Structure 1
Amino acid sequence: MRRIILLITIGLILFTGTANAQLEIGGSYELRNEDPKNGFGLRIQKGILGSVPVVDLGIRLHASFFSEEFDRDNLGQDYSIEYTNYDVGVAGYGGVSLGLIQPYAGIGIGTENYEAVVNNYSVSGDLNPEGDESNLYWNLFTGAKVTVIPMVKPFVEYRYSNKELSSPTLADAQSGRIMFGVLLSF
């Protein structure tokens, strides 16, 4: 919880220190290469250099939520596992405006919480996969926004995350996700 409060505080300090730059709020549908695979994201981003016409530099707060339930069978016992994952992060990005298309890339840090809950599980022993895990991560991302209407900007983005900040021996320390979403500019 302290990590989330720290990231939000850093983001608020950064956002309040930038004047005359564009604010963008958006949502996305996200696909990743680990369970749960499908989720949704929210982001708030603000440009830092509003006076430079071609270059777009800014900061971003982002959050994602993934949840999925899987039915399993173990030694004749049916049960289900509900996986829930959410992450919160802050990042810096830079891009250029090429007419209607605005490619960008960036780097950031964040925290992720992962939880597994077993339902209808009656077999005892070491087979119980319940657990809760929290990780710090760094990420790299690249994407492109399209300016269809000046206030509405659809985007596609790929984000690579690495959780080695928490544990260098973590088995699933690296993951990638692709996001499809829309930003509203103010």
Structure 2
Amino acid sequence: MPEIVLPTKGIQDEINKNVGSNADASSPTGSIHAKLKDIKGSLMDQIKPIRAASGQASSSSDVNVISITGKGRLHHAVLSTFVSTENCYLTVKIDGAIVYYGRDGNTNSISGLIGTDFISGSGASAILQVLSAAQYGSTQYRPFTTNFLATYPQTSLQAASVLLKDPIKFNNSLQVTIKTSDAGGTAYGMVLYDLG
């Protein structure tokens, strides 16, 4: 039978110092356990669940789709309408400042701050995930064209979309409102965001 040689006390102490224990605090320069906790914490800070909010408005008074305080990122804020005139409006405020103020283009139009992650395809075959009017609160895919593109921030009340490659950070607050001045018309709003 082969002889088993145990490491010396000095070698054991060095291994324990470098490997550490599960009780070690998170540290980018500490033991292996501490470094793994630090990596896990960094990854968890970047991976936040995306939350959704939706709303509808049938009057000329602003209706909150979402109004929150705190910090986070806005991924997507869209206005969808099923009326034939251009009288539905979307306003997005980040940290109290208006960063988007726009209106619908026409029947079945979509406008707003649109996260490119929510667009599939390109050109005439592009589709965008939006609210379904028939089943309020659910989503569907609808044709999406990039005919009316604007740059961020967009506050000139036009029927335009801003394509967001990256989410917009907010430090203090996020508020998204919708309204319509069409008799019998309804504006639908959808917001995707994360907190933290």
Specify the TM-score bucket, using the shorter chain as the normaliser: under 0.3
- State which structure, 1 or 2, has the greater radius of gyration over its C-alpha atoms: 2
Q: TM-score, normalised by structure 1?
A: 0.25
Relative to its length, the structure with more strand (as a share) is: 1
Q: TM-score, normalised by structure 2?
A: 0.24
Relative to its length, the structure with more helix (as a share) is: 2
